[in-house]
Amino acid sequence: MGGLLEGLGAQAQRLSGTPLPALIADDPARARDFALRSGPLYANFARQRYDRAALDALFDVAERADLIGAMRRLLDGAIVNPTEGRAALHSALRGDSSDAAVARDARAQALQAQARMRALVEALEASDVTDIVSVGIGGSDLGPRLVADALALPGARFKVHFVSNVDGNAARRALAGLDPKRTAAVVISKTFGTQETLLNGGIVRDWLGDDSRLYAVSTNAQRVAEFGIPPERTLPMWDWVGGRYSLWSAVGFPIALALGMDRFLQLLDGAAAMDAHAVDAPLRDNLAVWHALTAVWNRNALHAATQAVLPYDERLRLLPNYLQQLVMESLGKSATLAGGKVGVDTVPVWWGGAGTDTQHSFFQALHQGTQTVPADFIGVRQADHAHPRNHAALLANLLAQTEALANGQDSDDPHRRYPGGRPSTLLLLDALNPDSLGRLIALYEHSVYLQSVLWGINAFDQFGVELGKQVANSLLPALSGEGEAVDPVTKALLAELRGAR
């Protein structure tokens, strides 16, 4: 796949002597022509470090890679995860995106699960339960946690609390102040064999004292039953949905409890609308394609080693955490689909935080550090609070940062010189609601997949997660003195830990 991208370096070299402000000044229509809209989601790429000729080269790459065809194969349930022999049909969880038989079957299963989930939500709403504890990790935690935090309304029927980390302090803090008689818990694990989830689930089960308010989401009915949760309180998962793509499934049960089932379905509708856009819109009008091509340009033509995501809305503060898993677990690969070595760099390190807090922490490095860090800035046009001056200040800071990073400011004092030339994309939601957030998350999902197509890698396996787990399981007996480590450094560390006790 390196050959497909090799022409991009020449384009970057051609532009290397042209400052970003000059690229913008030399093309007055750029601010309009480098912008797209899909429903309530607007994107502007005018402050990226490419011109129209470089864009032509990028879209030529997209056409030769058949990105629209790749989107159709994804939605139709083709085997896009060949290392595990699986489709990736998360799109079927949220809409009728394909007439293919395998996609229709997946959609039917998803609708059945939604009906069961609605019944459980309504039963809990009719009970005296006030709090929900969601126990999971990774894809079984990050998506539901993000959406519940972003969209839960004041005075919601349930307050949802999340436990993920195996550190016992996580469970202790989540349960503090709750009444076990008015609390229900959901244990979410695809295999129901995840160490962290089972340990935390055991803590919560014992704390509840009554298994009648314990629910599960899993593919493994036998292990769920052995844990003490009956089938009528168990919702399904499927092997054609990866964990980091699963918030649209019954993994979203905590979301439905936090928002209500109807608003959960609105989230799915928004994602389905982005599915339709990503497969139906022509390349030049396709927001997912633009976003993916920009990511590949910044990584392979400009050699950016990191990527920042900067939501200017406190309700999206967990989006960087969510995207770290979605992007880096999907694209952190060095082997091609055929098993060879990837000929180009793949995923950069994703990181970020919510503005304006981050302006007072790491923005110093963004403006004056030695490395250029491309950034996605995300804003919300309409405020959902009664403080218009605050919202105006928030938006002013959002726009100011994208402008200052791009244009910089010269000075005779090197300590007060801002080099500029720092590229960014602005993503703007008309309002933050289930529909717009569903579209935004689905946009990133499709951008990630299209990047994997351009790099020739598998976006849907995650074998790199397993090695550390295997080593941890082998070391667990050694911590209690029932075994010994092989690695000499680990031996020394175990001795230190035992001595500390």
Catalytic residue list: 329, 360, 469
- Alpha carbon of 161 to those of 11, 92, 194, 250, 254: distances in Å? 49, 28, 19, 17, 9
Q: Which residues pair with 429 in a beta bridge?
A: 41, 380
User: Residue 197 in contact with residue 135, Cβ under 8 Å?
Assistant: yes
- The total of other beta-carbon atoms located within 10 Å of residue 167's CB is 12
The strand pair at 306-311 and 349-352 is best described as: parallel
User: Residue 311 in contact with residue 378, Cβ under 8 Å?
Assistant: yes
- Residues 54, 397: Cα–Cα separation, whole Å: 30
Three-state SS at 59: helix
CB neighbours of 77 closer than 8 A, spacing ≥ 6? Answer: 87, 89, 92, 98, 100, 102, 103, 106, 240
For 92, half-sphere exposure in the C-beta direction (CA atoms, 13 angstrom radius) is 31
Please report the DSSP string for 429-483 in residue order.
ESS-SHHHHHHHHHHHHHHHHHHHHHHT--SS--GGGHHHHHHHHHHHHHHTTS-
- Residues 72, 376: Cα–Cα separation, whole Å: 26
User: Residue 437 in contact with residue 273, Cβ under 8 Å?
Assistant: no
- Residues 412, 416: Cα–Cα separation, whole Å: 8
